[in-house]
Structure 1
């Protein structure tokens, strides 16, 4: 076998690009997750005001979210009623219903509405992060 030459310049260019892009993509992914959680929280509250406002007027205000990071690459939002807030403990009953009451799905509908926007933003981030040429 003859001594084949391999040009590493493209590999090095990609390495430099990823070294710059990955930290920025992490920052942007956290921002997209934060915005998505805020959108779900706001829509959940709006849905709850419309569906349970008369019977549970404090419930919509109990809906909030927490953002948590698990290492540099995992960000998770937990969205829902705070059971310690006024009427927050009604969340399971209002969301999922009971044998005597139908489910309101205030959170489920909010999540369904946000999902395509969130996925599109994450796909755009990945596309931008990998576009280096």
Structure 2
């Protein structure tokens, strides 16, 4: 019976690389989520200013965001009107419409605008993290 030898140098190099890149990827990912939330909030407010002029003129000021996370690796942003703010409770009606009012889709349009930029930035973080050769 012969013994097989295995060169672990590449595995150790990958281990060192990941030890360096994972904290950076976490930091960069959180920054991308924050930037995306800010962009969506700004666009949502701008869209709402243009569509809710007469009956919802205070509504755009109610739009904001909150950051959250689940452990060290999952970041989220909750973006939308604050129901406690002036006209914030109109958010569902203005965004999705009703029987007598068409939907404005202010938040949906803001999200659609930001999504390609958001995905591009996350892809760059992943690409940078995987480039270890």
What's the TM-score once normalised by structure 2's chain length? 0.98
Partner of 1:121: 121
For 2:41 and 2:53, locate their aligned partners in 1 and report how far apart those are by CA, in whole Å. Answer: 16
What root-mean-square deviation, in Å, do the aligned CA atoms of Structure 1 and Structure 2 show? 0.7
Aligned to 1:36: 36
Q: Which residue number corresponds to residue 99 of structure 2?
A: 99
In the other structure, the counterpart of 1:64 is 64
Q: Matched residue pairs, number?
A: 133
Cα distance in structure 2, aligned partners of 1:12 and 1:51 = 57
- Structure 2 unaligned residues grouped into runs of 5+: none
Q: CA shift at 1:55, angstroms?
A: 1.8
Unaligned runs of 5+ in 1: none
> Which TM-score applies when normalising by structure 1?
0.98
CA distance in 2, matches of 1:110, 1:54: 21
| CA distance in structure 2 between the aligned counterparts of 1:61 and 1:39, rounded to whole angstroms | 15
Question: Which contiguous aligned blocks of 4+ residues in structure 1 show a shift greater than 2 angstroms?
Answer: none
1:102-126 Cα shifts (integer Å, max 9, x gaps) = 0000000000111111011111100
**Segment drifting more, 81-90 vs 1-10:** 1-10
Residue 60 of structure 1 deviates from its aligned partner by 0.3
The Cα offsets for residues 25-58 of structure 1, whole Å up to 9 and x where unpaired, read as: 0000000000000000000000000000222111
